[in-house]
């Protein structure tokens, strides 16, 4: 109600002030014009007049505000009535459409419905009936819709699905998230022209044309459906086969009648009792005897015919004959028991599933007898107290509503046994659904979900999936660790804006800014959007690499990796690598420069040593000659070492080239031999090495770099001499094999140990063998490098009982061709 506010206008205020002033002035007036007695007599009258005036003004103002409040109240009631009428009109429109909407506003397991449930799904009347998908959908479709509903509620994953229902019905089921609330819409998808819709109140539980039009297609016998005018509106394939002799129905051709006008009139005069089926026998001129069953529909009639008096009225109730024919078309085992628990109807699937004799079942045994037989055959669930279990099962005859029980059979199968009370409390209808595959599918699905969760939680990367509504649909524990988000504040409906707010608390400096930037990329609805990745530098000096990937279902996958440590290691390694590269360049420059610097004084030493050895400066004593020989030999070794270092430097720099030419092999060998003899560090009294050289005749033309080949042979012979005793034999054999030239060097030294034979060609791998002094480790490395540059190979092996063999295999013609080019 509108509050009433009292306001006093300026005139009333002035009047009150004047009255108070007058009263205050009374004593002064009494001194001049009025006596004290007169003042006393007039005071009550003034007070009464003032109070009366004040009350009148207040009453006037209160009435005025009351009238305003009443006008506002009437206006509000009128607006409320208009809104209520508009709401009722929209509700009537929604409830008049053949569509049902279920919405979950509060608890996830409780839904509200909008729209006529029974008009949309004839077999359902409540929300619980609708959510029992297997009661009105195909089994596979029921499982699929259940999974899609779970994903909608848990992850907000929207879907649209055409679900085949029972009785040849199709439904269009779509799931959406609206205003953060999951909802599904169910509408029938009509294959043919819609039949007039009849309100549920007028059906009186009598089947409709739509119901039996979908059912008769599964009959093996001719069946038909007529409208209320008696016209054929639907027949099955068996009807057309009988009426047309196997020919198909031509376009625009009316459906032929099986019976003449007289028989049809007789059928119309037959009024089945209580709307139930009624059987008659017709003598047909062409098809012979037809046992016809007729039954009433709420908006027409239906029937089917069996040739050869298939139904015996003395044995079968007309209603039963129709029920038997209907359930026999079902693949699901079905059994019907009367009020006395006697079997009255069953289908072939029931007998085949339980492997029971049909003739014995036709004797109408009691359910107790059937259970006992199945128990004896070991086909019922293994219960420790069978009698108690059987008694609980037989309580189905007192049911008021459907009961479902799961049976786990010894064969490994799982049955969902549905017990429904028969109409008019005349027994129980059992439907046995084999849900083995369904449970296995659910188990595999749950196992897959479990493996997925374990896999996500085992990842070192943080993973988060956001829906199109910006809510978190999937995440792992690493998301909480990297972004310092409390796990109890993350669920499958947390909005990205909430994550930004939480990050503002855990990372006050830049958490809100970072997630604000991510939000614009994650919620980008542009159809041309692309994946994105980058690196985030947080205020706490953590480096986070992120990647935003668009998923096919319009959701967005975001991954985060903390690369702080890796980036630090990368930086250290990069700096170290740069330092090593700088040091390597300095080393190469130093080696090259120092090698050239060594060559100048070494040349002088060799020159003066040769001058002394020639005795041009005067004769030498024997001791001086020995010293001179040692100086010359050591200088030659040092010169060779310097040459090796320079060669390695040019090879590492990539500037080494071969100067190929046609060579004379004996000349090459002789140069290498002289170099080895000149470098031998032996006294005049010591026995020199026994160097044996064998060169085969008729060698092919050899094209190579002569300087490099001499260096190779010199290094191999020097290495053999170094590890041989004085007087030992060292041999060099040169021969041709397969168009290639082989240089084989053998010695009788101690040999190379097995632990180092694989690395003797590596640089700086010279090692001491049996007490001999190790070398610089460059000779064999030079050999390997120059041989490979010529396109050849080098191999080393240990001889028995002692010695070493080195084989150099070099091409001839191939090198020649290359040189010619």
**pLDDT tens, position by position, 243-253:** 887 777 787 78
Residue 478 has which token pair? 């690493």
- The answer to whether the CB of 641 falls within 8 A of the CB of 599 is no
- Residue 520 sits in the same domain as residue 622: no
Q: Check whether 310 has a pLDDT greater than 50.
A: no
The strands making up 159-164's β-sheet, listed across from edge to edge, are: 112-114, 100-103, 181-188, 170-178, 159-164
Residue 206 maps to a domain: no
- What local confidence, expressed as pLDDT, does residue 196 receive? 37
- The answer to whether the CB of 334 falls within 8 A of the CB of 430 is yes
CA geometry: angle at 27 spanning 25 and 31, to 5°? Answer: 115
- What local confidence, expressed as pLDDT, does residue 30 receive? 42
Band the pLDDT of 107: cuts 50, 70, 90: low
Residue 152 maps to a domain: yes
Q: Check whether 447 has a pLDDT greater than 80.
A: yes
- What local confidence, expressed as pLDDT, does residue 240 receive? 86
- Residue 633 sits in the same domain as residue 664: no
For 726-773, the pLDDT digits (tens) are: 778 899 999 999 889 999 999 888 777 777 776 777 765 554 444 344
- Residue 737 sits in the same domain as residue 693: yes
Residue 418 maps to a domain: yes
Average pLDDT, the chain: 77
Q: Check whether 815 has a pLDDT greater than 80.
A: no
For 568-582, the pLDDT digits (tens) are: 777 778 888 888 888
102-104-105-110 Cα dihedral, nearest 10 degrees = 110
Query: Could you give the CA distance from residue 511 to residue 516 in angstroms, rounded to a whole number?
Result: 8
Give DSSP secondary structure letters for 156-185: ---EEEEEEBTTS-EEEEEEEEETTEEEEE
- The answer to whether the CB of 173 falls within 8 A of the CB of 184 is yes
Could you tell me the CATH number of the domain that includes residue 661?
3.30.565.10
- What local confidence, expressed as pLDDT, does residue 810 receive? 93
- Residue 569 sits in the same domain as residue 526: no
Could you tell me the CATH number of the domain that includes residue 381?
3.30.450.20
Query: Which has the minimum average pLDDT: 146-155, 450-459, 626-635, 774-783?
Result: 774-783
User: Per the omega criterion (within 30 degrees of 0), is the bond before 285 cis?
Assistant: no
- Residue 578 sits in the same domain as residue 637: yes
Give DSSP secondary structure letters for 63-119: HHHHHHHHHHHHHHHHHHHHHHHHHHHHHHHHHHSS-EEEE-SSSTT--EEES-HHH
- Residue 605 sits in the same domain as residue 533: no
- What local confidence, expressed as pLDDT, does residue 5 receive? 41
Helix (H, G, I), strand (E, B) or coil at 317: coil
What one-character DSSP code corresponds to residue 821? Answer: -
Residue 371 maps to a domain: yes
Give the strand pairing for 414-421 and 403-408. antiparallel
- What local confidence, expressed as pLDDT, does residue 821 receive? 36
Residue 293 maps to a domain: no
The mean pLDDT value for 341-350 works out to: 88
Indicate the residue among 593, 627, 655 that finishes a domain.
655
- What local confidence, expressed as pLDDT, does residue 202 receive? 35
Band the pLDDT of 11: cuts 50, 70, 90: very low
The mean pLDDT value for 155-171 works out to: 79
522 closest CA partner among 478, 477, 514: 514
Q: Which range, 147-151, 203-207, 292-296, 352-356, is most confident?
A: 352-356
Number of structural domains, the chain?
6
Could you tell me the CATH number of the domain that includes residue 545?
3.30.450
For 797-809, the pLDDT digits (tens) are: 888 888 889 999 9
- What local confidence, expressed as pLDDT, does residue 314 receive? 39
Residues 6+ apart with CB under 8 A from 217: 168, 236, 237
For 68-86, the pLDDT digits (tens) are: 888 888 887 877 777 776 6
Query: Which has the minimum average pLDDT: 17-26, 363-372, 418-427, 524-533?
Result: 17-26
The mean pLDDT value for 119-145 works out to: 84
The strands making up 414-421's β-sheet, listed across from edge to edge, are: 343-346, 334-338, 427-434, 414-421, 403-408
- What local confidence, expressed as pLDDT, does residue 551 receive? 86
Q: Check whether 92 has a pLDDT greater than 90.
A: no
* 244 against 31, higher pLDDT: 244
Query: Could you give the CA distance from residue 278 to residue 295 in angstroms, rounded to a whole number?
Result: 6
Indicate the residue among 556, 575, 599 that finishes a domain.
556
Band the pLDDT of 416: cuts 50, 70, 90: very high
Listed as own residue / partner, the contacts of 16-25 with beta carbons closer than 8 Å and 24 or more positions apart are 16/50, 16/54, 19/46, 19/49, 19/50, 22/46
For 489-517, the pLDDT digits (tens) are: 787 678 888 888 888 888 888 888 888 88
- What local confidence, expressed as pLDDT, does residue 487 receive? 77
- What local confidence, expressed as pLDDT, does residue 440 receive? 84
Q: Domain limits at 138?
A: 97-188
- Residue 672 sits in the same domain as residue 796: yes
Residue 706 maps to a domain: yes
Count how many Cα atoms sit within 13 Å of the Cα of residue 229 in the half-sphere of its side chain.
3
- What local confidence, expressed as pLDDT, does residue 286 receive? 76
Residue % of the chain over a pLDDT of 90: 8
- What local confidence, expressed as pLDDT, does residue 326 receive? 66
Query: Could you give the CA distance from residue 633 to residue 675 in angstroms, rounded to a whole number?
Result: 10
Query: Which has the minimum average pLDDT: 256-260, 628-632, 658-662?
Result: 628-632
- What local confidence, expressed as pLDDT, does residue 8 receive? 42
For 697-707, the pLDDT digits (tens) are: 888 899 998 88
- Residue 107 sits in the same domain as residue 159: yes
Residue 230 maps to a domain: no
Residue 688 maps to a domain: yes
Phi, psi of 305 (to 5 degrees): -125, 145
- Residue 670 sits in the same domain as residue 787: yes
Indicate the residue among 142, 172, 188 that finishes a domain.
188
- The answer to whether the CB of 134 falls within 8 A of the CB of 124 is no
- Residue 493 sits in the same domain as residue 583: no
- Residue 696 sits in the same domain as residue 801: yes
Q: Check whether 220 has a pLDDT greater than 50.
A: yes
Band the pLDDT of 407: cuts 50, 70, 90: very high
- Residue 493 sits in the same domain as residue 385: no
* 610 against 6, higher pLDDT: 610
pTM of the model: 0.33
Query: Which has the minimum average pLDDT: 127-136, 421-430, 494-503, 532-541?
Result: 421-430
């Amino acid at each position: 109600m509108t509050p009433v506010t009292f306001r006093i206008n300026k005139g009333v205020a002035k009047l009150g002030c004047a009255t108070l002033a007058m009263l205050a002035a009374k004593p002064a007036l009494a001194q001049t014009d009025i006596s004290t007695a007169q003042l006393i007599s007039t005071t009550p009258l003034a007070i009464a007049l003032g109070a009366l005036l004040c009350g009148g003004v207040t009453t006037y103002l209160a009435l005025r505000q009351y009238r305003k409040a009443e006008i506002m109240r009437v206006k509000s009631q009128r607006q409320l009535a208009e809104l209520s009428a508009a709401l009722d009109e929209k509700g009537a429109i929604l409830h008049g459409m053949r569509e049902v909407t279920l919405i979950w506003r509060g608890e996830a397991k409780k839904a509200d419905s909008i729209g006529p449930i029974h008009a949309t799904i004839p077999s359902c009347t409540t929300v619980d009936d609708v959510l029992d998908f297997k009661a009105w959908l195909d089994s596979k479709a029921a499982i699929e819709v259940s999974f899609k509903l779970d994903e909608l509620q848990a992850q907000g994953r929207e879907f649209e699905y055409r679900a085949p229902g029972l009785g040849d019905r199709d439904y269009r089921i779509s799931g959406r998230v609206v205003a953060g609330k999951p909802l599904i819409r169910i509408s029938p998808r009509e294959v043919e022209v819609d039949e007039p819709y009849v309100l549920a109140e007028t059906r009186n539980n009598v089947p409709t044309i739509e119901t039996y039009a979908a059912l008769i297609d599964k009959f093996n016998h001719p069946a038909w459906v007529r409208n209320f005018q008696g016209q054929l509106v639907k027949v099955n394939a068996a009807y057309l086969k009988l009426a047309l002799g196997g020919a198909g129905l031509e376009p625009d051709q009316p459906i032929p009648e099986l019976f003449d006008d007289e028989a049809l009139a007789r059928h119309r005069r037959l009024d089945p009792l209580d709307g139930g089926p009624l059987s008659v026998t017709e003598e047909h001129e062409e098809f012979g005897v037809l046992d016809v069953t007729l039954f009433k529909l709420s908006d027409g009639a239906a029937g089917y015919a069996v040739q050869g008096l298939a139904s015996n009225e003395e044995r079968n109730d007309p209603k039963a004959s129709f029920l038997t024919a209907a359930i026999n078309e079902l693949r699901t085992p079905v059994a019907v028991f009367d009020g006395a628990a006697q079997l009255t109807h069953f289908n072939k699937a029931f007998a085949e599933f339980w492997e029971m004799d049909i003739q014995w079942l036709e004797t109408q045994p009691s359910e107790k007898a059937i259970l006992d037989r199945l128990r004896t055959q070991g086909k019922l669930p293994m219960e420790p107290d069978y009698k108690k279990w059987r008694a609980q099962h037989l309580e189905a005859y007192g049911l008021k509503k459907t009961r479902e029980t799961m049976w786990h059979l010894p064969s490994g199968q799982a049955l969902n046994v549905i017990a429904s009370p028969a109409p008019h409390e005349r027994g129980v209808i059992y439907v046995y659904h084999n849900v083995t595959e369904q449970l296995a599918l659910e188990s595999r699905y749950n196992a897959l979900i479990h493996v997925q969760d374990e896999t996500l939680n085992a990842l070192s990367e943080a993973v988060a999936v956001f829906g199109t509504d910006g809510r978190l649909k999937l995440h792992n524990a690493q998301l909480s660790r990297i972004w310092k988000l409390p796990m109890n504040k993350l669920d499958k409906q947390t909005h990205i804006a909430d994550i930004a707010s939480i990050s503002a608390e855990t990372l006050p400096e830049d958490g809100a800014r970072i997630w604000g930037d991510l939000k614009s990329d994650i919620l980008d609805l542009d159809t041309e959007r692309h994946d994105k990745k980058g690196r985030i530098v947080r205020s706490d000096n953590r480096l986070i690499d992120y990647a935003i990937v668009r998923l096919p279902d319009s959701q967005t996958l975001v991954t985060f990796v903390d690369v702080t440590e890796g980036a630090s290691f990368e930086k250290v390694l990069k700096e170290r690598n740069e330092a090593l590269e700088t040091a390597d360049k300095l080393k190469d420059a130093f080696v090259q420069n120092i090698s050239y610097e060594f060559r100048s004084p070494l040349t002088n030493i060799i020159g003066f040593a040769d001058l002394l050895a020639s005795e041009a400066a005067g004769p030498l004593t024997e001791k001086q000659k020995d010293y001179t020989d040692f100086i010359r030999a050591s200088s030659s070794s040092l010169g060779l070492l310097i040459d090796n270092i320079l060669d390695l430097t040019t090879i590492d720099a990539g500037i080494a080239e071969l100067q190929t030419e046609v060579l004379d092999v004996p000349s090459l060998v002789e140069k290498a031999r002289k170099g080895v003899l000149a470098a031998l560090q032996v006294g005049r009294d010591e026995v020199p090495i026994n160097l044996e050289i064998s060169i085969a005749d008729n060698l092919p033309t050899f094209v190579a770099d002569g300087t490099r080949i001499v260096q190779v042979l010199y290094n191999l012979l020097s290495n053999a001499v170094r590890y041989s005793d004085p007087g030992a034999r060292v041999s060099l054999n040169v021969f041709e094999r397969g168009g290639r030239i082989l240089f084989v060097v053998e010695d009788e030294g101690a040999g190379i140990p097995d632990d180092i034979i694989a690395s003797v060609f590596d640089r700086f791998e010279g090692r001491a063998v049996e007490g001999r002094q190790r070398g610089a480790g460059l000779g064999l490395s030079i050999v390997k490098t120059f041989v490979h540059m010529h396109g050849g190979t080098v191999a080393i092996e240990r001889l028995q009982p002692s010695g070493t063999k080195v084989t150099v295999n070099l091409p001839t013609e191939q090198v020649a061709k290359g040189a010619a080019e």
